[in-house]
Chains A and B, each alone.
Chain A
């Protein structure tokens, strides 16, 4: 969870507060966890696939007046042999981003198990469900797009997680993931408009992920739209 501490003394007399936020990224192999992280932090997108051999770790500092917000992104390799390192990414994270590949429905299916495991390790983290490779989804049939979108909305409702379809390659909704994360952590009001049209890169967050405790109480979540 966020903790603030005064930064080290610098020549400049300003005293800066620093807020550290850890965000974990989990999901099946090759869904684009590392790509998303690198895109957000370094604004680089590489077409080449590089397997993550463990947990990738990146930081990005965002300055706001006298406060620095440092995002520490922990990206767990999607292969099974790294899942024993899940606590590194999950424990201590304020937000867990669950990623699936929009063009591979099986990756959405396995979100269930990711969710179970992550929740078992850290039940106070705010989940965010992210569908990746939206730029490839638009090449698929309308029926499939509708099916995967509807299914993803169902998942998001069950998880009480904001749902975002993003494309790292085309810079779609990448920044917004972390804005939403910040908004949910500090209970801020984000004014970015939602995107609710099936076929568009969905951005649903206003009614989701507002209260973790509500998830436990609600028994029959209802589908959006």
Chain B
């Protein structure tokens, strides 16, 4: 439990600082950090419930995608300001490193098994984003038909 809380704090810091490296505007940094920490919490919960690494990454990416879109609408900033920093804790860095190391040291079969893990993780992140995109489009369509204020606000707004 203490480990989990510690990890969440570290994820928050890591997300914000990665945002600084990408030159994310100052007003978007904090909310990006919260998105990173929250999606990482759900990822960890899925891992604790033994749902498998693919499903956990998919859930994490899905939550990042949905929350980033809400943040983008709220802050009126492009969505990449939020979802790229928030994705950093999900990068399969450990597996990618083990793959490179084993290739370099000549353990090809182990390297290929790590390569497969990297592919599984990145594939599920991509599909998580795809699902999030679908949720966002459905939401936009629903809001357009339900709320006249929404229709007015998004009349000629640039894409988020």
- The finding on whether chains A and B are genuine partners in a shared complex, rather than unrelated, reads no
